[in-house]
Structure 1
């Protein structure tokens, strides 16, 4: 896992967020995970998540493709 946001990879990250947060994946998650359909939606979601928690990415070892996220938060 690694901390996110490298300015050179912004668009790739935002596109990956839209790929991962499909309706089937988010159906049992809180409402702010739903309806991430564009890179603008992904950016707004990302900014919300990093303002509320430490957001980490989970990457596939061989390709370094993001396959998920971990949110660390103190409540």
Structure 2
């Protein structure tokens, strides 16, 4: 797999692992993060949904840097 086209060759297990990692990072469900399904949607539909969430959704601050440090500290134990 190449970094540029990893999504093309990714299998279901890889994608599920990536999804779980992101859910852990953003503490889903979390008011500062929104989960947007891409299943069966075109790139344009996904882009519209993301733009809508960014520009029309309620804002809730989320400290990504702090969360990454917490995860790193936990894994270092």
The two structures have a TM-score, normalised by structure 2, of 0.29
Q: Which has the larger radius of gyration?
A: 2
Q: What TM-score do the two structures reach when normalised by structure 1?
A: 0.29
**Structure with the largest fraction of helix:** 2
The structure with the greater share of residues assigned to strand is: 1
